[in-house]
Structure 1
């Protein structure tokens, strides 16, 4: 089992005589993906995150592993092809937190023509090496169950495949695997200064610690520019465009398990996705953001926009007062000069600053959760001329993430096996644990013979044994880490129950 308190070897990284091979700033999906890849190639790695893992952009996505159908309109064929190729690869290495999802795209006269949608979906089906995901088909909405919750003004729809992901868990699992391979993961540790000294990077942490490293990766997401200018004190050669994307969650709007992708009159698209059994997730928006990324929140205008967009299609109107939760994130996109936020590229840009004889600095701009693994490979390839370990063979394409060591398509069998071993657990709880932890759900349940063995009950189906596991193995320190990032039980616990959980976690400590 990975440990959330995995200290490096004594003295390692604390002096120029024993530096880390690689230091990473940022505990989002890109930083954790790079740390995992590098550690698996034998590098001595340390990762710093100023808050909790996935505490910003990486836990606030639309929860999709997808090619990005709409990016074809902007001719981003390389990005779409790479993303499409990654869908089944990521599903294979994390079949517990990633699952196939069918998308229903209703056709409306006056918006994108049917021939254009067919052409886009033809490319979507064939340029990404699809093998397991079902192909596109045409639906008659008058007779298909997908048409039942929709208004009658759309007679036809196209149905295609992508995948759903629990985004924050994907980040945590990458960090766990990096730790298993020797990386030091330091959450709630902010870097206050970084400078080159004696051919190395000297990093100062809040609290007075010093760490030395041969190479530095700035994967700070929305803070990438702030790190460059305020921590490293160098002028950025590329700029970040912060784009706010907000989502709303409402009580479940329909009974089937497919997702809708709706075209809006303004040219944007909005998803409606089955969420946590009892809810529907609707998003996202695209608007430029100029504030503190840590303070981003869905605005009343965004909530109204998403409600109106969904109400254009669903028979039952979606009203702001029916929203049970909202979340908003800042996408740190590369600023390509696009006139509108929704037109800014979602592709990633890597900038390398490596003066002769000096320690290299690699900064990450943009990217999307679907292509994080390929981004990590590209990042390490850029470091290869300066780091011998970086030239070692790639490996993450086939290396299962923690808990994902079972076959694609084997999730139902895993649930059945856990349910048979612990028959006193209700099926819904077994399914939730299997979805979150995969085969490691057995680590949480090991030795228990009844519900009393799980310890204190905090609400819903959350018990002390799971909380202690998350603290020991997944760096959880506060109630919000457990309720909103390691899972979404925050939708089910009351404020009083959440406060009691936080009190408990503070009392037992790390």
Structure 2
């Protein structure tokens, strides 16, 4: 993690400034003493310093207020390596570039068949936790939205300012959707469009329409230099968002016969949502899909330690452990 300031402009067409300030103040209070500076109100002269990519004419014409608050940027690849090293100190083993081909009930547990460059391997386990989100064909008990977000990566040359010297910005497009513009690994990241997943997670791509929306934003709001010619990469990612609704009661026999091989065609997964998908809670739901087999839906990478504690507390009694899970007390490896 590394600190990353966020600038939040409030324009005439948006929410009132006092409401934004109340929300950010509560954000600070709930964050606790994390060592980051608190939220503060910016004057117009400070905006050009923190976000030189903001169009000056729009700032002069439409800006009602601007706030600067502190957040942190997660380096996901580093976090994974750190977590893996910490786990090995506790006796955990892990395998990379390995595909799980089959999980079969076996007595009071499961037999798992895996394939890697070293060939096929079988292991047995009393419990299985599926944290692979969309890459597993499990029918959820909670209805989930299959959601896709698309992002554009711009080269450093799209701005004269250096990414490391700038704050990130959250801005609202004309249709009400929030778009972020973030300094990211010495480049610039802009996102996101949100839509329902078309097809299945293993055959996902970014259709041209998904690029059109963020590009239209990039040419209208931030003052970028030839954004169309400075796009380095376009990528999209899918996730499940639990809708906190019970899955429809369709009968076990019908489920097995109709959807067990094509779960993403079932009514348990939705492709559309009547409302703002970005306003839905990202809080994870953990289900026991089968006896001893737990599946995680939703959640955010940044909350992986808290989520690990919740899952650990559920499975610990099954393994005869009486001590509560203490993920927060584990010393992290650098």
- Equivalent residue for 1:431? none
What corresponds to 1:257 in structure 2? 166
CA distance in 1, matches of 2:46, 2:281: 38
Paired residue for 2:307, among 357, 370, 375? Answer: 375
1:501 matched residue in structure 2? none
2:327 pairs with 1:396: yes
Q: How far apart, CA to CA, are the structure 2 residues paired with 1:199 and 1:177?
A: 29
Asked whether the 8 Å contact 1:222–1:331 carries over to 2, the reply is yes
Instruction: Please point out which of 261, 283, 301 is paired with 1:347.
Output: 283
1:170-202 Cα distance to aligned partner (Å, 9 max, x none): 123212322232222122322222222221212
Q: CA deviation at 1:321?
A: 2.8
Contact 2:134 2:201 in 1 (8 A): yes
Q: Which has the higher strand share?
A: 2
Give 1:393 deviation, angstroms. 4.2
Deviations 1:262-285 (A, max 9, x none): 1122222111111222x2111122
Could you tell me which of 58, 62, 67 is aligned with 1:153?
58
1:157-178 CA distance string (max 9 Å, x none): 1110110011122123212322
Q: Does 1:241 align with 2:145?
A: yes
Summarize the alignment of residues 35-46 of structure 1 with structure 2, pairs less than 5 Å apart.
none
Match of 1:125 in 2: 28
Question: 1:106 Cα shift?
Answer: 1.0
Change (3 A) 1:265 1:400: farther
**Richer in helix (by share):** 1
* Large movers: runs of 4+ above 4 Å: none
- How is 1:100-179 mapped onto 2 (pairs within 5 angstroms)? 100-144=3-47, 145-146=49-50, 148-151=52-55, 152-154=57-59, 155=63, 156-179=65-88
Cα distance in structure 2, aligned partners of 1:147 and 1:198: 60
User: Aligned to 1:314, which of 218, 222, 226?
Assistant: 222
Alignment gaps of 5+ in structure 2: 246-272
Residue among 85, 108, 112 paired with 1:203: 112
Contact 1:284 1:306 in 2 (8 A): yes
TM-aligned CA distance change 1:172 to 1:262, over 3 Å:
same
Q: Unaligned stretches of 5+ in structure 1? A: 1-97, 229-234, 404-510
- The answer to whether the 8 Å contact 1:310/1:317 transfers is no
Deviation track 1:384-439 (CA, whole Å, cap 9, x = no partner) reads: 331223x3343332434331xxxxxxxxxxxxxxxxxxxxxxxxxxxxxxxxxxxx
Shift of 1:150: 1.5
Distance 1:181 1:213 in 2: 18
Distance across 2 between alignment mates of 1:299 and 1:353: 33
SS in 2 for 1:168: helix
Tell me the C-alpha RMSD between the 2 structures: 2.2
Q: Name the structure 2 match of 1:63.
A: none
Alignment correspondent of 1:326: 234
CA deviation vs aligned residue, 1:334-392 (integer Å, no higher than 9, x gap): 2446524334431100112565xxxx111100000121111111011111331223x33
Bigger mean CA deviation after superposition, 211-220 or 341-350 = 341-350
Q: Which moved more, 1:98-107 or 1:295-304?
A: 295-304
- Contact 1:304 1:320 survives alignment (8 Å): no
Contact between 2:140 and 2:287, CA under 8 Å: does it hold in 1?
A: no
Partner-residue secondary structure (3-state), 2:128:
strand
| 1:301 positional shift | 2.1
Paired with 1:161 and 1:322, the residues of 2 have a C-alpha distance of 28
The answer to whether residue 158 in structure 2 is matched with residue 287 in structure 1 is: no
Deviation at 1:318, TM superposition (A): 5.5
Q: Are the aligned partners of 2:86 and 2:331 in contact in 1 as well (CA < 8 Å)?
A: no
